[in-house]
A and B are shown apart, each in its own frame.
Chain A
Amino acid sequence: MSTMTDPQPQGFRLGMLISDTRYRSYTFQFIALILLIVSIAYLISNLFANLAANGLDISWAFLGEPAGYDINQRPIEYTSQSTHARASMVGAINTLIVAFLACVSATVLGVIAGVLRLSNNWIVSKLMSAYVEAFRNVPVLIWILIIFLAMSNAFPQPRAFRGETPDATMLFDAVAFTNRGVYVPSFVNGAGSAIFWLVLLASIIGVFAYRRYAKNLLFKTGKLLPTGWPSLAILIVPSLLMYFVLGQPVTLEYPELKGFNFQGGVHMRLSLIALWFALAIYTGAFIAENVRAGILAISKGQTEAAAALGMRPGRIMNLVILPQALRVIIPPLISQYLNITKNSSLAIAVGYMDITGTLGGITLNQTGRAIESILLLMLFYLIISLSISAIMNVYNNSVKLKER
């Protein structure tokens, strides 16, 4: 269009706004803009007319008022006297907690299922297809509800653990499965525990450093260092030494049945577990498909070439196929993480106090500030989504095939 020679300049006529391609786009955009402004103005004026008719207003003051309700899972300090803003923050952190847990487990599950689905073991690959199809084709809400209801009905009550011959016993005397959630031991940090944790952290870094060194050595000299047992040794030996040198600074606190419930340890609530597992299993099925597609996208020649070099199947997968497949797998994987975060809003179905449960739930109900609360709620999810998309773009640019 633009390469055509311009027609002879002539006087501008009104009709050219429609008929001339040079001006037409301005006309259309102008009309679109006017329509948009008019319709937004119409909606907003309706909003204000409705609010005025009911004597209401838009105000954010409620965020600073005491919330008045309690939240069971409090990653940060919170009482019923804290503000609504604080309650929303607790909810936001709870959202991130369940999203993080679900992302990690969905990835593990998805990679295993995706790889096994391509296994040449017929029964295993069929089992994995059944898993993928069963979970992909049923709404996640149903899975959340089923896990929640099944656990609350099938697991014993805390009371069942009581008495001389209890109906239920704790696993290894440390983990209690009850219909209110799972109680696991927690760490109690004594004097000098900080040193112990630092040593542990250093050992983990040491493991990675050793593996890197071994890899470099392999690439440079072809000498293959063992990685399995030295890694384990680096990880365990210094920490264990430190643990006893410092006189066992970190102890485990076991959950104990006191009063109505177990006390002590970490309480993973039923709602958290139901949401976490359901999201992980459901999204795992999608990730399995992404992983499978990524692996299939790598041409068979790569596998054959690696096999011709004499590599074992495990190494072919780890060193040749997966690194290439990751380029294909990661973008859809990240959008699955996004889906997990968004689907975690279904927490409201099982009473998990995420941000939909606090800000979009009880705060909204108690204050009646529907417009403000929902606006904030959307903003929260929007920020998360946009930041994940931004990360994805950075990644995509960094792994783009660099053609030389």
Chain B
Amino acid sequence: MSDTHAQSVAFVRTTEIPPAPPPTMETGAIKWIRENLFSSVLNTVLTVLALYFVIRGVIAVGPWMLNGVWNTGSLRECREVLDGTNAACWSVLTERWNQLLFGFKYPPEFYWRPTVAFVLLLVAAAPVLFNALPRKMLILTAIYPFLAYWLIWGGTIITPIFAALGFVAAYFAFTNGERMYGFFLGLVAGVGAALITWFIGGIIADAMPGSMLEAVPSRDMGGFMLNMILGTVCVSLSIPLGIVLALGRQSNMPIIKGICVVFIEFVRGVPLITLLFVANVVLAYFFPPGTNLDLILRVIIMITMFSAAYIAEVIRGGLAALPKGQYEAADSLGLDYAQSMRLIILPQALKISIPGIVNVAVGLFKDTTLVSVISMFDLVGMIRGPILSSTDWTGIYWEVFIFAIVLFFVVCYGISQYSQWLERQLATDHR
């Protein structure tokens, strides 16, 4: 081309014109502001209004928060220090820090024990939450419940060791029994082996009462620690129960299905607080005369039932979402029910229900504050009871509740962000 027209025009530019900068109205911050804040009259009004409220809010709350007092012994002292300026008395947090976190009865010299248990929780939960981590870390996860129990409650180490051994024995009895006699008898053998181990463990623990960590009765648990204990224990207990209920509800045996449906719908139909009332005032009547479960255990039973029903519904959703071909393929391979569930269906169904389960877990963790209504001293119970009614701090409320909000927000927001991240991870698999 250049050959034919080379001489026909006087000037041919041989290089490209450098790109001119776009008009200032169309670049950078100005463009962004124009498009995102002032694109129409309505938007402009909204922006101005929103800015007005944000600025008003910051002006009202900012100094109050930042000028707060951190080191006085009582509200009266704090007000004196503030001398009329409008600012927060954060000193309630510094003064009652341990009470807010551990309750008012947990022995102070043992605060390190729940703290260690909490840190280990993060380590133990990591391999479950993140697939990228080495699978060997799951061993720690398996040990964790027993270790955490021992750390928080103390007492003889024989109890948790035998509790763990019971599960190990159950596992071996189950695998061997299943190979020889099939799933059902294997299960029976597993349960039997566990019970025998626990029985022997009980005798040994009674015989050797020496304890390495001093026992702390569960009535002494309190503060945010209690919320964490209830949340983690109940969620982890309710997942297996939820799986069983979901499978039962999907089963084609009418009686088993009926039992599961009635249980799930009943529990989902009543508020948690009525179940807590049951734990508090009624449940004791249903145990054999003379036995005595303490309140925290009764509450754990009821909350576990509650969350199991919700988790069962989530897992049922997961089971229903699997293509029918998966069930048929499993059947066509000649797998029996237990095998097809364990090897084919549940791994997939659970995987897609994880975000839903995490949502239930967040909701449950928030609901653990309800125990304050039945006179347990969790974080909210501590605030409503001992702190707000103490002579030193009567009349304070924003500061302590803001602290509670921040604690719950950090935990719940963190978990829900994880759930969203996981959803994105899982979404790629289905593309």
Contact = CB atoms under 8 A, between A and B. Distances in A.
A175 B404 CA distance: 33
A345 interface: yes
Given A122-B36, A145-B380, A381 B269 contact: yes
A18 B182 CA distance: 9
Given A124-B47, A385-B269, A51 B285 contact: yes
Given A29-B256, A47-B286, A133-B413, A145 B401 contact: yes
B125 interface: no
Given A47-B285, A123-B37, A150 B271 contact: no
A121 B372 contact: no
B256 A1 contact: no
Interface residues of A, number: 56
Interface residues of B, number: 61
Contact of A370 (B282, B336, B362): B282
B397 A146 contact: yes
Contacts of B285: 46-47, 50-51, 371
A342 B367 CA distance: 12
Contacts, number: 155
Contacts of B289: 46, 49-50, 53
A342 B270 contact: yes
Nearest to B397: A149
Given A122-B37, A146-B397, A138 B372 contact: no
Contacts of B51: 123
Interface string B276-313: 01100110111111000000000000000000000000
Given A29-B256, A119-B46, A382 B270 contact: yes
Nearest to A382: B269
B89 to A, nearest CB: 14
A307 interface: no
Contact of A382 (B46, B259, B266): B266
B398 interface: yes
Interface in B358-383: 362, 366-367, 369-370, 372-373, 380
A124 B273 CA distance: 36
B36 A138 contact: no
B416 interface: yes
A153 B37 contact: no
Contacts of B373: 141, 346, 348-349
Given A28-B256, A123-B47, A343 B36 contact: no
Contacts of B272: 342
Interface string B231-256: 00000000000000000000011111
Interface in A148-192: 149-150, 153
A133 B412 CA distance: 10
A377 B46 contact: no
Contacts of A29: 253-256
Contacts of A374: 274, 277-278, 281-282
B47 A356 contact: no
Interface in B387-431: 395, 397-398, 401, 404-405, 408-409, 412-413, 416
Contacts of A47: 285-286
Interface in A337-369: 342-343, 345-346, 348-349, 356, 360, 364
A386 interface: yes
Contacts of A153: 395, 397
Nearest to B32: A122
A137 B269 contact: no
B122 interface: no
Contacts of A377: 274, 277
> DSSP class of B's interface residues: helix, strand, loop or mixed?
helix
**Which residue, A127, A140, A142, A346, has most C-beta atoms of chain B within 10 A?**
A142
B39 interface: yes
Contact of B253 (A25, A50, A134, A342): A25
Nearest to B409: A137
B200 interface: no
B250 to A, nearest CB: 14
B286 A121 contact: no
A343 B398 CA distance: 23
B292 to A, nearest CB: 12
A43 interface: yes
Contacts of A385: 268-270
A33 interface: yes
Nearest to B53: A127
Contacts of A49: 288-289
B412 A127 contact: no
Interface string A89-106: 000000000000000000
Contacts of B54: 123, 127
A150 B370 contact: no
B412 A124 contact: no
Interface in A21-70: 21, 25, 28-29, 32-33, 36, 43, 46-47, 49-51, 53
Nearest to A28: B253
B273 A137 contact: no
Interface in B33-66: 35-37, 39, 43, 46-47, 50-51, 54
A139 interface: yes
A120 interface: yes
A120 B405 CA distance: 29
Contact of A145 (B37, B265, B277, B384): B384
A371 B282 contact: yes
A257 B269 CA distance: 44
A276 B272 CA distance: 19
Interface of B: 32, 35-37, 39, 43, 46-47, 50-51, 54, 182, 184-185, 252-256, 259, 265-266, 268-274, 277-278, 281-282, 284-289, 331, 336, 362, 366-367, 369-370, 372-373, 380, 384, 395, 397-398, 401, 404-405, 408-409, 412-413, 416
7 tightest A-B contacts by CB? Answer: A385-B269, A137-B412, A122-B36, A342-B271, A139-B366, A345-B271, A29-B255
Interface of A: 1, 18-19, 21, 25, 28-29, 32-33, 36, 43, 46-47, 49-51, 53, 119-124, 127, 133-134, 136-142, 145-146, 149-150, 153, 342-343, 345-346, 348-349, 356, 360, 364, 370-371, 374, 377-378, 381-382, 385-386
Given A25-B253, A381-B271, 19 more contacts: A18-B185, A19-B182, A21-B336, A28-B253, A29-B254, A29-B255, A32-B256, A120-B35, A120-B36, A120-B39, A123-B37, A136-B412, A138-B405, A139-B366, A139-B367, A146-B397, A146-B401, A370-B277, A386-B265
7 contacts: A140-B366, A141-B380, A149-B397, A345-B271, A371-B285, A377-B274, A378-B270
